[in-house]
Structure 1
Amino acid sequence: MSAGPPPCTQASLAAPFTGLKSNVAFPVTKKANNDFSSLPSNGGRVQCMKVWPPIGLKKYETLSYLPPLSDAALSKEIDYLLRNKWVPCLEFELEHGFVYREHHHSPGYYDGRYWTMWKLPMFGCTDSAQVMKEVEECKKEYPNAFIRVIGFDNVRQVQCISFIVSKPPGVL
C-alpha cells in the first residue's frame, strides 16, 4: 500500500487561533447618567393605568378585559380567525365560564377547561356571518350559557384563538 497524503479534514482547514481581537473596534459606551429627574414615573399624578380588581370580577378568556364586543367587532375577530385558515368552533358552558380549582390542587390542573361543543367544528366556513348565525342559535338553545368561539388550526392540530362571545345575563 502506498502512503498518500493525509486525508483533508474539517479541523485541518480551519485557521489557527491567533488571539483575542483588540477592543478598539468596539464602540465607546457613555457613562451612566445618574440624573433621574427626566425619566418618566408612575407618580401620584399618573392615573391612566388600572389593574384588574381581584375581587368580584372574573377573567374569562382573551379580550375579557374589554367591554362586551358589538356584533360588528365580533365579526371582525371571526374574520381574523378565518383569514388565518383556522376552523371556527363554538363551545358553551352552563355553570362556570372561567378556569377554577375545585377537585385537585396540583400545579397545572384546572377545572373548567373543557366545555361542551356546539355541533361540529365548522370545516369549510368562509364567512363570519355563518359563525354569528350559529352563535345566535346557541344563545336561543342555552340562554344562560357562556359561549365562546375557538379557532382551530387543523394542520398543526392546536387551538390558536379562543374568546367569549356571550355571557349569561347579569354576569360581568
Structure 2
Amino acid sequence: MGASSLACHLPSSNTMAPTVMASSATSVAPFQGLKSTAGLPVSRRSSSAGLGSVSNGGRIRCMQVWPIEGIKKFETLSYLPPLSTEALLKQVDYLIRSKWVPCLEFSKVGFVFREHNSSPGYYDGRYWTM
C-alpha cells in the first residue's frame, strides 16, 4: 500500500450541513448541583388525623422468627469452632457492633450443601458467604 491510499478525505469547513452548525451554537448549562426543596409545597397533617402512633419500624431492631424444623434456609455461626458461652456472646456482640444482624439456626442435625458454586467459602442458603 502506498501512502496515498491511507490518506483521509475530510470535507472542507464550508460544506458542513447548516443543522450541524446550528446545533453546535447552542450550549447546555453545566450541572450546578441539587436544588433546594424549600420552595416546593409541603403537605401538613393535622393533629386530628389520628396518625401520631403510626411508625415505619425505624426504631425496631431486626429480628425474624423462623420455624426450627424442616426448613433449611439461613445459617451464619455454625462454621465457628465449638465456643464457650462467653466466647459466643463476644461473637454476637462483635456482629452487633459492626451493625450486622446475627442469625442463629436451631436444628437437631446441621445441614450444609453446595449446588451452584464449587469455590471454598460459598454455600447456598446463607444471608452472606463466610
Same-fold call, TM cutoff 0.5: no
Structure 1 length-normalised TM: 0.22
Structure 2 length-normalised TM: 0.28
Greater percentage in helix: 2
Greater percentage in strand: 1
